[in-house]
Homo-oligomer: A and B are copies of this chain.
Amino acid sequence: MRIDLRETAGILKESDNILFLCHAHPDGDTLGSASALAHALSAMGKRVKVDCSDPVPKDFSFMFEGFEREEFEPELIAAIDVADIKLLGKEYEGRYQGRIQLCIDHHGSNMMYADKVCLEADSASAAEIIYQLLKELNAEITPQIASCLFTGVSTDTGCFRFSNTTVRTFEIAAELAKLGADTYNIIQVFFETKTKTYAALERLALDSMRFYCSDRCALICVTQDMYKRSGSDESETDRLANLPRQIEGVLVGVSMRELKDGNFKASVRTHGDINASEICKRLGGGGHAGAAGCTLYGTKQQAINSLIKEIQAEIDAFTID
């Protein structure tokens, strides 16, 4: 059942012992949104915890400062920024199947697996929804909470560069800055700092760039061998996703990475009317209109072929020469 912000606030007000779940391979939005909400509810006297099947990367640890680790039997289980229960990770999917009472999300592709779903698909980030929810709850937004939310707002918009960025995104960013979010350092860490190993991987990835579909598609492919040569690993590949689409004239940018089992994960980023989610859905994946992903099976060439076929079909549907 879809519910609005007011109803969501009502559920949270009436609840205690709340568990917030983040998606696996956690990013700034799922962690920032869940931790911001948890801090605010904790300050209102509730027992809360945030959990994720993968460890929290160290760049996000500031979000969890001040939380006391307490064990309790959750009365309310809420998933934050989790479009599909599968995205919780295999183990958590099994553990929480049929038990998730609330989901707060901004993915149009949400699978509606929770009892109640607060879904705003026009929000660039879950953090934008949480910001409004905190207003609805009359919660105090401390500098730490503002920093958690600013991390979500900035990372899910590529630092205000993606097409999901709206007037409201800028307004909320300004509000969070005013409330004491550490905007400069957050942006430095997530957008303006490259490890030497990442910089080496990026160069190898850029060397692998190939063009398809009359230069409207650019594709890079990161192999296991490139991790070895650069000293990097797959934890550093997310930032590569945006690079192919930056080339002038490219409508679809693809960043593929070889998995340890030899298959490939593809991250697809599009411009204009080209729908990345449609492309990836046909290959068993999903996401947003401008940014989506899927897993590809077979050899590298087979993986590329199957993806390019769908990309070509999507480009043909939307472009007229």
Mark A residues whose CB is within 8 Å of B.
Answer: 159-161, 163, 165-167, 170-171, 173-174, 177-178, 183-184, 187-188, 191-196, 199, 203, 206-207, 242, 245-248, 271
With CB as the reference atom, state the residue of chain B lying closest to A194: B246
Contact A178 B167 (CB under 8 A): yes
Cβ contacts A to B, 9 pairs, < 8 Å: A161-B191, A163-B184, A165-B183, A166-B177, A170-B170, A173-B173, A193-B246, A195-B247, A203-B206
Q: How many copies does the complex hold?
A: 2
Contact of A192 among B166, B191, B203, B246 (CB under 8 A): B246
Complex CA–CA separation, A188 to B170 (angstroms): 16
Complex CA–CA separation, A161 to B242 (angstroms): 17
Complex CA–CA separation, A205 to B203 (angstroms): 11
Complex CA–CA separation, A184 to B194 (angstroms): 25
Contact A194 B163 (CB under 8 A): no
Q: A192-B246, A246-B192, A247-B196 are in contact. Are A167 and B174 (CB under 8 A)?
A: yes
Contact of A187 among B160, B245, B248 (CB under 8 A): B160
Contact A199 B206 (CB under 8 A): yes
Complex CA–CA separation, A199 to B247 (angstroms): 7
Q: Which residues of B lie under 8 Å from residue A195 when comparing CB positions?
A: 247-248
Q: Which residues of B lie under 8 Å from residue A206 when comparing CB positions?
A: 199, 203
Shortest beta-carbon distance, A291 to chain B, in Å? 13
With CB as the reference atom, state the residue of chain B lying closest to A167: B177
Contact B170 A177 (CB under 8 A): yes
Q: Which residues of B lie under 8 Å from residue A183 when comparing CB positions?
A: 160, 165, 170
Shortest beta-carbon distance, A181 to chain B, in Å? 9
Q: Which residues of B lie under 8 Å from residue A199 when comparing CB positions?
A: 206, 246-247
Q: A170-B170, A171-B174 are in contact. List 8 more A-B contacts (CB 8 A).
A: A160-B187, A161-B188, A163-B184, A165-B183, A170-B178, A188-B271, A195-B248, A199-B247
Contact of A161 among B174, B187, B194, B245 (CB under 8 A): B187
Contact B193 A248 (CB under 8 A): yes
